[in-house]
Structure 1
Amino acid sequence: MQTISQNSKLYLIVSLFVITVLNTANAQIVISKPQLGFSQACANEGFNTFSATFVFAPDESVEASNQFTIELSDSNGDFSNPTNIFITEVGQVITSPATLNFQFPENTAGEGYRIRIKSSAPVATSTPSDPFAAYYKLHDIPFTINNLVSTAAYCSGSSYLLTIDNPGTGNNISPLIYPSLTYLWYRETGPTTSEFVGEGSSLSVDEEGTYFVETNYGSCTSDSFSNRVTISESTSGVTNIEISSSLGTNFCPDQGATVLSTVNGNSYQWYKNGIIIPDATEQSYETTESGTFAVQVDLGGCSGAGEIILDSQEFIGAINVDDTNELAEGESLSVILSDTAISPEYQWFLNGQIISGVTQNNFNATELGDYEIIVTETQGCETSVSFFFSIIEPFNPFPDIDKIPNLISPNGDNINDTWIIPQEYTAGSDTQITILTNRGEVVFQSNEYLNNWPENDLELTNINKVFYYIITTSDNQVKKGSITIIK
């Protein structure tokens, strides 16, 4: 049998429609049933353009002020409260047949929608279209359940609760952010087959198997589905459970912390290298460190245990100098940095300013100040680590001064922290130093003074404290005065 072409079909529809119109008494305009340009409407953010074609007659009856409207029924095909999904401009359509493009609203979800066409001048309404399935897929990407942990167990006589993660780990976007969506759960029955087992955002499982969930878009296919989780029954006291890492077992610390997650349970305790982690008692645990991490989970009636080995791939390094180093005039400090970075680059800074031309892991420092070395690993993790050290002027406990000070401030800043007197009265001069309180109590006495008083905390209040000194030389020359201690 010869197939009738699409153009021939349309010609036949138009001819029959015109005959019908001519035979209709007192008809100002008649609009045909819309012919859909699609079999089902599966819309999403990236695609939401659909079309319908209709015929109207006679053309000359359409007034200049006329507008055509496309009305959408509810999901059961009822037009009691229709939604206008497209309205033409005034006088936009004046010849028949006409094809209009339109979009579906975001709350569209059902298998029995219809559309119809209405005109405003003159007023007329078409017969509804054939029914069709239509869904606006608010969420159209994969999502996670069970914290992306692919296995779980339930105790004999109990059950396990599978839930859609909200928000979940990593870049997971949960469909639960859209309250209007519904969900269908399935259990695999073969490599490519499955059976429906329940609805909702969670599922209580008391039968072994591999489960997953999809967002309910009816006959429309979508990418809004979950990972698979294999559930087993535990008949022993302790069962093996899985731990997932959001960044994998090998991760770069500059990505931030990886999130370790395990199965649902009543309570949790996490460990690192066999040692309990205080306060780590949630289903998830964040870390940037390497090591063997383990968890114990109370499943209610039985328990689960599992472990995972992490390598943060953070390089390590060290410098061969102390945090604070003394350097006399004319001397230099040889600084060498050792590290495990892959293809490292080095930047040296002195007091916040880059040291030009220094790009190696070693440097002879000659200036006083605060130094920083930034080591950047240019391959692998491509991360940076800073190392710090300072160079200060050597402390001279016996400086060459002429006067005996009467004011000191022992606040730990290495400036005027102790009572420094001329060298002619210090150790080796056979001079007796005596320090007394304002009540005459001796708090210090020595014939070998090392410019080191006070060595201990004087328990100062907010009020400055005053002490008195007596300096007696070997030839019995005496000097007296006061020392004010500023807090």
Structure 2
Amino acid sequence: MRSKTNSRPYIILIALLLLGWSHTIAQTLNKPIPADNPNIAGNSPWTAVCASADFNEYFVKFTWNTPLVNSDNSFILELSDANGSFATPTQLASDNTKNTNFNFDFKFALPTTARGEGYKMRVRSTSPAKTSPASDAFSMYYIDFKSSLLISPNGNGNIPPGGRIELCDGNSATLAVHNVANAETYRYNWYRSGTPLAEKSNSITISQAGIYMVEVDYGSICSGSANTLSNDIEISTGASLGIAINDPSKTALCSGEAETLEANIMGQGLTYTWFKNGEAITGPVVDAHTYIVDASVPGFEGDYAVEIDGDGTCLERSAAVTITNAGDFTVTRGNEPNIVLLPSQTKTLSVSTSASSPVYQWYKDGAIVPGETTSTLNIDQPGVYFARVSQSGGACTATAIDSESTTAVVPASFEISVAYATEYEDCSNTSIVLEIDAINALDDQGAKTDVTADLIGNFTYQWKKDGVAVNGATARSISLTDISENGGYELDAVLESYSPTSNSLNVLLLVNEDLNITASSLVSCNDSESITISTTTDLSSATFDWIKDGVDLNIATETLNVSETGKYQLVVYRNGCPLPSNEVSIAPLDDSLITLDSPETVVFPTGGSKTVTASGGTAYQWLDMNNALLSDSPSVTFTEEGSYLLVANIENCEITKQITVALQDTFKVPNVITVNGDGINDQWIIPNTYSRNKDINVLIYNSKGEVILNVVDYQNNWPESTMAFSKQNMVFYYKIKNSKEVLKQGTITIIR
């Protein structure tokens, strides 16, 4: 067996090589290559990635060479952009379990944004930091749209009949995709009669004849598997024939007249479609080169055009010819559509007109009212009335227009309905307005006619609450704003001999009052402490409930003493309505609310000092080992070693924390310990700068690079007395780290 002095350097060198800490030999990371999918039988390595929501599982093979990487290493598979650049790589996969495996596969899923022909991959190790060469370039596409495209003129969604468009006299047309969200974010392959075109956007402007189709461009390999090929649009070209409508004999027609419109091209076996105001009014009919406009049909006025089509010709529409109503004028009713005739009452109906020389004739129930030939009519009988107005001169003396009708009723009774003017709910509103909703006239058979507009101003009104008249409440509405006004409301109305009473509405308002509760403390120190919850609202004559976490406590005291945590609320009942207070939350005491900006073991160099600041409390006391007060502020400055006590208050609760202050150890981290049980140097004791510190991480590795100790707040207690060491001069390796960096690293030799 070699002596201690001779064997130690070799052991250290071997271990350093195993852990990858040598600076003379570096790992070799090879470029990743496609691998087959072990989850698919008979599979072979992929040549392109055509991923989708239905399948997105791919593998690459990665190999690397010794020396070993560090035990905290991760291998990361990265993807370039579509041009092969790794300026901002995308992480596809990461593995920290293969640090001793020199040949393994990464499984990855393609990002949903990937579309391109030049993607590359590489592998990066983190400890030590190295990067493999980039892989070959691959076509990679995530196929998120995999349905047939639809194209139409300008992408308007209207595919032309038969998928055919004719272009006349060298004109062009634009075809565009119309069934893809964010269509402009994709690239496309356009085809004319099977020949690929250069255009790659979602639209194309064309003037050549042919059959046009498009598909999403998912690259040379993936495009076919997506099945996005669109419908086809056939483009034909030709010359215009110059279709027009011959000038009609007249364009202003009187009622009952007719005018024949005629196309200027005829006798060529073409199909004709006639349009009015841009809408087809006939189907395409061969040789239908004329159309008759009939002025006896209401609404005959409009803009007329004709469209022709046929072999060897262009689909072509003429300019429009405007046909008007020569006898056009308006008649307007001058009164409500429903009116009431009270006993011995006469009412006047009226109409107005834009006719230049009008002639009037009134009708009742469809029959002429003899002698009534002016713009007004006085009536005292029920019935349905209207006026017929005609011109006494001009081009269309026979034209007549009827006014809207007026229904006059003599009621047997009236019905009045009242309603809430706005949304209302019992014990929710603090105010409400009640108003007339409708007035109906009822005949002997009970049939109703709405006469609200005609009579709402003719009745006199009186509001009643619980059957008693409300003083001064004689308007069409009543506003209620106080709980003293709660009750049942109805409205009496009077008009001559009629005196209807409305339906009843119940009003139960919530008091317009703020109810607040406060607690003597919002933190419960322990189960035996009593916290008082109270309110400034007088409860001596009130009915109320104390609520905890939504449950009635059935406690009738005006103040509430509690020791349990939870949410508390007071509910006071005003006129039968519950009035809830704010909620008060009592939380349990949490020691972790008091925090220090330093570990509870404070270390500083001899002759120096250390200021420690606490937070989270409402009051502080810093005491030395003799209970002498050092500071009553959140901060204290220590200049001497010793044990100190922080007493912090959160409201009325007290939390204590023990702080140990020590001068900084000046000895170095030891690299040899003797575990012979003599009580001297039996354990690995490191300076207090690193030990007993919750922010410091201590790691110890064996000669194989395996972690055997990984702790924070190291207590200077390794190795434990129960540990046995099989060989003399065993070498271990350590790292001392904080959250950001390695502070110290080296070896520990065990001498038995």
- Give me the TM-score of the superposition, normalised by structure 2: 0.30
Work out which of the two has the higher radius of gyration on C-alpha atoms and give 1 or 2: 2
Higher relative contact order (CA 8 A, sep 6+): 1
- Give me the TM-score of the superposition, normalised by structure 1: 0.45
